[in-house]
Amino acid sequence: MADNTRAWMEELIAELEERRKQVQEGGGPERIEKQHKQGKLTARERIEKLLDPGSFVELGTFVEHLDTEMMKGVKAPGEGVVTGYGTIDGRTVFVFSQDFTVLGGSLGKMHGRKIAQAMDMAVKVGAPIVGLNDSAGARIQEGVDSLSGYGEVFYRNAVYSGVVPQISAILGPCAGGAVYSPAITDFVLMSRGSSYMFITGPEVIKTVTREEVSFEELGGADVHAKKSGVAHLEGENEEEVLTLIRKILSFLPSSAKEKPPHRPTDDPEDRTAPELLDMVNPDPRRPYNMHEVIRTLVDEGDFLEIHPGWARNIIVGLARLGGQPVGIVANNPRFMAGALDIDAADKAARFIRTMDAFNLPIVTFVDVTGFLPGVAQEHGGIIRHGAKMLYAYAEATVPKITLITRKAYGGAYLAMNSRDMGADVVLAWPTAAVAVMGAEGAANIVFRREIQQSPNPEATRAEKIKEYKERFDNPWIAAGRGYIDDVIPPETTRRHLIRHLRMLEDKHEERPWKKHGNIPL
Ligand code: HXC
C-alpha cells in the first residue's frame, strides 16, 4: 500500500512539474528567441533581475484564460503574465511581469484578475507593487471580458494610489489599455529603443489623420521622457530600468503607513560646503548649476533626478539628508531662467503629491522670477496648471523646508512654498531677493511719472532701480516680517537642513475633514 501511495504521489508530482514547466516555457523557444533578438528579456528573466536573487515566489501559476468562443483551443501559458512576490533590499515587493511571448502579452480577463490579486495582496501586507509591462493591449479574442480585466486593474491602480507605491516599467510595445494602468501609477520608466506607449498605433493614426509616424517617434522612451512627460525616467536598456526601480524603492516606505527608510551615511552632517560660495552668480541674469548645488548638499552627492528630460526649468528628485530620504524641488536657472510654465507646474505638483503620499519631507530650492509670460501659456491654461503647484504644496502635510538661494518673486515665490503656503521652515542665503517683481520692472511701474517727468529719464530710471534694489532686492524685509526664519551662510546649509529635518521628524498636521480635495486638473 505504502509503495502504491508513493508511486501515485510521484505520478501526480511529475504531472505537476510538467504543468509548471509548460507554464514556465511561456510562448515557446521561438518566440523567446525573437524576444531576445529584439534586445528584450523574458518576463521571468526580468523578475530575476529586479528582485533579490532567489527571492521570487510565484502565485497564480496555473491560472488559465477564460473559455470564450474565440479562445477555444488557444494555449496561453500562465495567462500571459507572471505574478508573485519577492524582496528588494530585503523588503517585500509584489510584482507582475507580462509575457509578450504569450499572445503578445495581451490582457485577457484572467490575466487582469491575476494582476488584481497580486495588487490586493500587496495592499493587505503593505508592500509596493511593480508592474513590468510588455503588452499588445486588450486581448481581442476575449472582447468585453478583456476590457473587464483592464477595469479590475485600473480600478485598483486608482483605489490603491497613495496606499502602497506603484511603479511601472515599460519594456515593450504597450498599446491601448496597456498604457493606462501605468499612467495611474507613481513612477513610469521606459527602456530606450525597445519600448513604446501609445493609445492608437501608427497604422490607425495614418488611417484617421493621415499622419505618418514611426513607433519610436510616436511613443518611444525619448518622446515620453522629454516631450509628453508620461515617463519619469528612461534607461539605456532593460537592466538599467530594473536597477532604477530598485533605487527608487530604496527611498520609499513600503506603504503610506510607514516612514521612509533611513540609511546611515558616512557623509558628516555638519559638513561645510565652501564651494557653494563660488557657485551662485551675483548677476541675477546669469545662470548657475542648481544640480551642482543640490549634489553638494545631499548625502554623498547622490541625487536621483525624476523627470530629468522633461520641463527642465524645474528640477525634482530623490536624495537623502543625514540619512533621511527627502524629495527635492528646485528651480533651474539654466532653463528658461527657471520660470514656471505649464509643464513645470504639472511636474512639480505631481512630485509634491507623491512625496506627501509616502511621507517624504520636501526640500524646496527657490530661484525664480515668475511664471512664464506668453499667449501660448495663458491659452494653454497656465492659471489652471500653476494652481496645481499652489494646491499641492498647501495640501502636503509632510515636513516642508524652503531655501531661497536668489530670486523669489511674485506668484512664483508663493508657488515655491513660501511661509504662508505652509512651509515649516524658510531659510535664505544672503543672496536672496524676495519681492513682488524684479527691480527693473518695479521701478518702471512705481516711478513711471517721476521717470517721464525727469529732465534725464534714463539717469532717473537707473537711480530708481538702484533705490528699489537696495530696499527690496534682498532677504531682509522678508526676514524682518518673519517670512524667513533665518538667513544662513551658504556653506553651512547642509547642517541647517539636517537639523530642521530632525526637528520636524514627528511633525503631525491635521486638516479639516473632507471627502477629498479637488485639485485643479
Ligand atoms: C491578442 C494579440 C494582440 C491582441 C498581438 N497579438 N496583439 N493577441 N490580442 N491585442 C498577438 C499576435 O497575434 C502575435 O501572436 C503575438 O501577439 C505577437 O504580435 P506581433 O504582431 O507578431 O508582434 P509585433 O510585430 O512585435 O507587434 C506588436 C504590436 C502589434 C505592435 C503590439 O501586435 C499590435 O499592433 N497589436 C495590436 C495592438 C492593439 O491594437 N491592441 C488593442 C488595443 S485596444 P503569435 O501567435 O503570432 O505570436 C485596447 C482597449 C483597452 O487595449 C482600452 C482600455 C482603456
Atom of ligand 1 nearest to the CA of 176: 52
Set 143, 309, 323, 411: catalytic member: 411
106 lines ligand 1 (CB under 6 A): yes
322 lines ligand 1 (CB under 6 A): no
Atom of ligand 1 nearest to the CA of 31: 48
412 and 369 Cβ atoms separated by less than 8 Å: yes
Asked if 176 is an active-site residue, the reply is: yes
Fold classification of 276-437+474-503 (topology level): 2-enoyl-CoA Hydratase; Chain A, domain 1 (3.90.226)
What's the per-residue H, E or C state across 121-172? HHHHHCCCEEEEECCCCECHHHCHHHHHHHHHHHHHHHHCCCCCCEEEEECC
Going from the first residue of the chain to its last (521 residues), give the mean pLDDT of each consecutive group of 10, the final group possibly shorter.
Answer: 84 97 96 96 98 98 93 93 98 98 97 98 98 95 96 98 98 91 98 94 93 96 97 97 98 98 97 93 82 98 98 98 98 94 98 98 96 96 97 98 95 96 97 89 89 92 89 92 97 98 96 96 95
Set 60, 177, 235, 386: catalytic member: 177
Superfamily holding 2-251: 2-enoyl-CoA Hydratase; Chain A, domain 1 (3.90.226.10)
Atom of ligand 1 nearest to the CA of 27: 48
In the 8-state DSSP scheme, what is residue 310? Answer: S
| Upper half-sphere CA count for residue 85 (Cβ side, 13 Å) | 18
- Domain locations along the chain: 2-251, 276-437+474-503, 439-472
Per-residue model confidence (pLDDT) at position 132: 98
Helix then strand then coil, % of the chain, to nearest 5: 45, 20, 35
> Beta strands 196-198 and 304-306: pairing type?
unpaired
Per-residue model confidence (pLDDT) at position 473: 87
* Atom 7 of ligand 1, nearest CA residue: 136
Helix (H, G, I), strand (E, B) or coil at 402: strand
Per-residue model confidence (pLDDT) at position 280: 86
Name the pTM for this structure.
0.96
103 lines ligand 1 (CB under 6 A): yes
Asked if 2 is an active-site residue, the reply is: no
The string of pLDDT tens digits covering residues 187-203 is 999 999 999 999 999 99
Helix (H, G, I), strand (E, B) or coil at 331: strand
Asked if 411 is an active-site residue, the reply is: yes
> Beta strands 400-409 and 433-435: pairing type?
parallel
Q: Do domains 2-251 and 276-437+474-503 have the same CATH topology?
A: yes
Per-residue model confidence (pLDDT) at position 443: 86
Per-residue model confidence (pLDDT) at position 2: 56
* Atom 16 of ligand 1, nearest CA residue: 104
In the 8-state DSSP scheme, what is residue 261? Answer: P
Rounded CA separation 331/301 (Å): 18
Asked if 219 is an active-site residue, the reply is: no
The string of pLDDT tens digits covering residues 330-358 is 999 999 999 999 999 999 999 999 999 99
* Radius of gyration of the chain measured on its C-alpha atoms: 27
Mutate to test the pocket of ligand 1, among 37, 139, 140 (most ligand atoms within 8 A of CB): 140
Per-residue model confidence (pLDDT) at position 116: 98
Q: Ligand 1 centre and the CA of 138: distance in Å?
A: 8
196 lines ligand 1 (CB under 6 A): no
417 CB contacts (<8 Å, ≥6 apart)?
329, 362, 364, 366, 393, 400, 402, 423
198 lines ligand 1 (CB under 6 A): no
Atom of ligand 1 nearest to the CA of 200: 40
